[in-house]
Amino acid sequence: MGNTTKKILVTGANGQLGQCIYDIRSKFETYELIFASSKELNITNDESLNSFFSNKRFEYIINCAAYTNVDLAEKEPEKAFLINAEGVKKLVAICKVQNSKLIHISTDYVFDGTKGYPYTETDVPNPINVYGKSKLQGEQYIQEALTVFFIVRTSWLYSQHGKNFYKTILDKVKTVKELTITTAETGTPTNANDLADFILYLIMKDVKEYGVYHFSNLGEATWFDFAKEILKKNNQLGLITLKSTDNYPTFAKRPAYSVLSKNLIKKTFEIPIRDWNAALMKI
């Protein structure tokens, strides 16, 4: 008898979501999880892909590999498209050959932000920056070639791992007396640990309702609201002057309103989704 343990691959394992999945790896009970950073598996490189997959087969591939620097993407669009679109296309080809189920993480930035109320999975994407365009192209490659996939769009991801807005705000408290944060964008902060739990659910329940889903925490906030709550939860609100502005120039255009509707997930699955404020624990 050979080893029949089913394997799950997590690409982009050094990113914050990859690390949050690593933290709950024991909950994947019957599966063996393989975590591959971009050094171990470069999804844009055929040689790297061929040698990595030559003697391994995966039941699921969770693609957390992404180019996520929204402003820098405007200056290096080729790199953003290489990772977020062409790299995804290469993974899709492997999923077809291996018969692997793909769980791919996408973004609220595939929308233009003009709708004014929460975006559903059937709303037509219209990205307004390079990052959003590159992520949408990746989604399209998946939908054109596969039937067994989950594209999970999420928003404003943060956690105890990696670089993110939550950690940046707490770092700033140590070095500056005053912070100016924008109110021009409304979205939903999402705890990456909650997203990791949703991915766990999809796998452990062997969910067959494939397709595109929106997963973020519930409710909505501006970046200013988010910053204020971060400081409040960490008892640091009085240590810094927080100012709001509706005019904070960034290199990339960002959607003014990118809240994602969770109605499809609520209707399809029996999982509790936390309000963004409740999910904002001291991390």
Q: By residue range, what is the domain housing residue 267?
A: 6-163+189-219+259-279
Backbone angles phi and psi of 37, in degrees to 5: -80, 175
CATH code, domain carrying 197: 3.40.50.720
- Residue-level pLDDT at 3: 56
- Domains contained in the chain, number: 1
Q: Establish if 233 belongs to a structural domain.
A: no
Q: Establish if 71 belongs to a structural domain.
A: yes
Cβ atoms of residues 244 and 225 within 8 Å: no
Backbone angles phi and psi of 32, in degrees to 5: -100, 125
Give every CB contact of residue 167 below 8 A, 6+ residues apart in sequence. 158, 160
| Angstrom distance (rounded) from CA 228 to CA 222 | 10
pLDDT tens digit sequence for 197-212: 999 999 999 999 999 9
Look at strands 221-222 and 186-187 and give their pairing. antiparallel
Distances (CA, A) of 123 to 126, 189, 273: 9, 21, 22
pLDDT tens digit sequence for 11-55: 999 999 999 999 999 999 999 999 999 999 999 999 999 999 999
How large a percentage of the chain has pLDDT more than 90?
92
Q: Establish if 125 belongs to a structural domain.
A: yes
Q: Establish if 68 belongs to a structural domain.
A: yes
Q: Establish if 231 belongs to a structural domain.
A: no
pLDDT tens digit sequence for 236-282: 888 889 999 987 778 899 999 999 999 999 999 989 999 999 999 87
Tell me the pTM: 0.96
Distance of CA 148 to the CA centre of its chain: 19
For CA atoms 280, 129, 120, 194, the dihedral sign is: negative
Question: Which SS3 state, helix, strand or coil, does residue 170 take?
Answer: helix
* DSSP characters over 172-241: HHHH-SEEEEE-S-EE--EEHHHHHHHHHHHHHTT----EEEE---BS-EEHHHHHHHHHHHTT-GGGSE
Look at strands 60-63 and 6-11 and give their pairing. parallel
Q: Establish if 236 belongs to a structural domain.
A: no
Q: Establish if 59 belongs to a structural domain.
A: yes
Active site residue ranges: 131
Token match 């960490």: residue?
A: 234
Q: Establish if 39 belongs to a structural domain.
A: yes
pLDDT tens digit sequence for 141-152: 999 999 999 999
